[in-house]
């Protein structure tokens, strides 16, 4: 079923339907078999060994490729293994430009590539196109961004970056975890690859670890197919099925996440103990600065509905303290220099009733005042 033929709500809901012909099951079966019987030498059914290809994973990957308007998708064992798969296209000595405000786990991996494999990374503000162009070197191979960025929620103009990437023959890679294919399709704006931590909004229930890479272009898709099979960091059939089940309700979840986030944003902007609120305009993520970092711990301890936990994108509302959790890998002086200070808290606004979420924040602010 092509994403182009139907509205995205229909494409998401119909994932896996009409994929099993022998018994006509509505829900895609979970094929746990690691091996597949061959009737004779040279005559298989397209499946040999589950790392190389699995019917359940194929359904998930095909759905992701369609939803992101790409050519091929690759389901991986985590969001970080999706980033690792994308970066396995590059070699020692290559230079990559990435955005300054980036997930701490990505920063940690890039630091590892610099230390162990002689990669070079330059961190770009995300706004000044001339600065981006000045950072391009003879050994630059790619531009990697998140948009919106995490946790400062900055939207980056993908069309502009894509133009610079194409003019300089660079690959353009976009982490689309925060907005999902329901809100934006980076390939339509010129990206060569899209990455998701499917753990987050795609699965949507804080119960599965998964990643996805979607590629556009025959050459890059063939190379990723070879590497994905060679490395073997593929997603298990059951976890593929779990993510697909979550994705069926992504559109209605995202609408509720976004509606709640906008209500919470309005409340926080009028709260005297909040210095600033960062919301990218869409989706369910927002960050805010308390007026004093000494209030952070008591505030977190007083919340009753918002769960103090890492991660994002699940139906339950979570609050994260990036300084000690998701972005602890980034040295304090580095993150403070671009605005990720110790007063910052990040909300993944869930699908509960907005009144209850605001009431929880209200009682926490009252307690720390």
Helix (H, G, I), strand (E, B) or coil at 74: strand
215-242 burial: b if 16+ Cβ within 10 Å, else e: bbbeebbeebeebbeeeebbbbbebbbb
Contacts of 165 (CB under 8 A, 6+ apart): 142, 143, 171, 172, 190, 192
Q: Per DSSP, which regions of the chain are E strands?
A: 72-76, 95-99, 120-124, 140-146, 171-175, 193-197, 211-215, 274-278, 285-290, 307-308, 318-320, 344-348
Q: Nearest 5°: phi and psi at 171?
A: -75, 140
Active-site amino acid positions: 51, 103, 175, 200
Helix (H, G, I), strand (E, B) or coil at 20: coil
Q: Which residues pair with 318 in a beta bridge?
A: 307, 348
Asked if 123 and 107 touch (Cβ cutoff 8 Å), the reply is no
As given in the structure block, the two tokens for residue 46 are 């397209």
């Amino acid at each position: 079923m092509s994403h182009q033929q139907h509205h995205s709500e229909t494409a998401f809901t119909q994932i896996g339907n009409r994929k099993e012909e022998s018994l006509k099951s509505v829900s895609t079966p979970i094929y746990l078999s690691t091996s597949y019987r061959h009737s004779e030498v040279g005559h298989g059914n397209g499946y040999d060994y589950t790392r190389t290809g699995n019917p359940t994973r194929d359904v998930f990957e095909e759905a992701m490729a369609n939803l992101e308007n790409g050519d091929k998708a690759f389901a991986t064992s985590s969001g970080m293994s999706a980033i690792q798969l994308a970066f396995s296209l590059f070699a020692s000595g290559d230079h990559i430009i990435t955005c300054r405000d980036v997930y701490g786990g990505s920063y940690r991996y890039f630091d590892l590539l610099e230390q162990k494999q002689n990669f070079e990374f330059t961190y770009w503000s995300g706004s000044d196109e001339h600065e981006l162009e000045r950072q391009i070197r003879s050994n630059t191979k790619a531009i990697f961004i998140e948009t919106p960025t995490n946790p400062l929620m900055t939207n980056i103009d993908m069309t502009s970056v894509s133009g610079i990437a194409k003019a300089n023959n660079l690959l353009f890679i976009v982490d689309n975890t925060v907005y999902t294919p329901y809100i934006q399709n980076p390939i339509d704006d010129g990206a060569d690859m899209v990455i998701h931590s499917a753990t987050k909004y795609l699965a949507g229930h804080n119960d599965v670890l998964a990643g996805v890479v979607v590629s556009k272009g025959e050459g890059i898709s063939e190379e990723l197919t070879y590497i994905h099979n060679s490395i073997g960091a593929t997603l298990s059939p059951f976890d593929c099925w779990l993510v697909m089940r979550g994705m069926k309700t992504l559109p209605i979840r995202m609408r509720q996440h976004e509606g709640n986030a906008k209500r919470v944003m309005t409340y926080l902007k009028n709260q005297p103990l909040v210095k600033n609120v960062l919301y990218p305009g869409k989706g369910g993520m927002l960050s805010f600065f308390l007026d004093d970092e000494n209030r952070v711990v008591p505030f977190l301890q007083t919340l009753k509905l918002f769960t103090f936990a890492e991660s994002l994108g699940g139906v339950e509302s979570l609050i994260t303290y990036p300084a000690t959790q998701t972005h602890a890998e980034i040295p304090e002086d580095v993150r403070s220099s671009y605005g990720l200070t110790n007063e910052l808290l990040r909300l993944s606004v869930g699908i509960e009733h907005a009144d209850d979420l605001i009431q929880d924040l209200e009682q926490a602010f009252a307690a720390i005042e």
